[in-house]
Amino acid sequence: MPAAAPGGRTDAAMEQIIDIVLLAFMVVVAIAMIRLRNLYAVVMLSGIYSLLSASMFVVLDAVDVAFTEAAVGAGIATVLMLGTLALTFREERPPKRRTPLLPLAVVVVTGAALVYGTLDMPHYGDPEAPIHQHVAPRYIADSPLEVGPPNMVTSVLASYRGYDTLGETTVIFTAGIAVLVLLSGVTRRRQRRRPARGDESREARR
């Protein structure tokens, strides 16, 4: 790109802005998903959320994870959620009045412990990190000769960790069959609707 020399700094700044805005979007969507009572809207928002996280994975260079997230999170999960919606109500019941102090405390303590745990971790992209020192150099050096494909992630997943991948595939296959059985066997039941309670349910049916 010829204009890269003067524009390099603004490009880097723009990347940072995109990161921050994407993360802010994720926070907004998560809060909206918690607050909304219309489950259809929540399903739609969860599709948006997984699109956002897939973009974050691309920004972090985890392209294969982004593929999976886009296919599973935005594609299949949305459809399965909609199939589930046919079996339940479209509105979430408002929670009983209770002070959520204990759950809040648990969440805050867990979050603080996790943040404390990240303090020890190597910086993002640090070449000295243990994960880049253990088996990665051998994969980089030998996998083109031992396995063949130019994409080393493929070599690792399909050859070096072949049994691992086989187990994962079995688990996902089983889970997929179970979900299909659950959704297809019972879908014939008519969709129940709660008595209209103001605008919300009429809005949901429209």
Q: What minimum distance in Å lies between the beta carbon of 127 and another protein? A: 19
Please provide the size of the chain in residues: 206
Q: Does 25 bind another protein (CB under 8 A)?
A: yes
Q: What is the DSSP letter of 72?
A: I
Q: Does 159 bind another protein (CB under 8 A)?
A: no
Q: What minimum distance in Å lies between the beta carbon of 109 and another protein? A: 30
d(CA 43, CA 88): 13
Whether the CA torsion 48, 51, 55, 56 is positive or negative: it is: positive
Q: DSSP readout, 26-59?
A: HHHHHHHHHH--BHHHHHHHHHHHHHHHHHHHHH
Q: Of the ranges 92-100, 107-115, 169-177, 187-195, which one interacts with another protein (CB under 8 A)?
A: 187-195
d(CA 80, CA 183): 8
- Helix, coil or strand: residue 82: helix
If the CB atoms of residues 74 and 156 are measured against another protein, the closer one turns out to be: 74
Number of shown-chain residues binding another protein (CB under 8 A): 50
If the CB atoms of residues 170 and 184 are measured against another protein, the closer one turns out to be: 184
Q: What are the backbone angles phi and psi of residue 56, rounded to the nearest 5°?
A: -65, -40
Residues within window 70-99 making contact with another protein, judged by CB under 8 A? 70-71, 74-75, 78-79, 82-83, 85-86
Residues within window 27-46 making contact with another protein, judged by CB under 8 A? 28-29, 32, 36, 38, 40-41, 44-45
d(CA 78, CA 51): 11
Query: For residues 33 and 42, is the Cβ–Cβ distance under 8 A?
Result: yes
d(CA 57, CA 22): 11
Q: What minimum distance in Å lies between the beta carbon of 187 and another protein? A: 6
Q: What minimum distance in Å lies between the beta carbon of 76 and another protein? A: 9
Please give the residue ranges that form the binding site for another protein (CB under 8 A): 1, 3-4, 7, 10-11, 14-15, 17-18, 21, 25, 28-29, 32, 36, 38, 40-41, 44-45, 47-48, 51-52, 54-55, 58-59, 63, 66-67, 70-71, 74-75, 78-79, 82-83, 85-86, 184, 187-188, 190-191, 203-204, 206
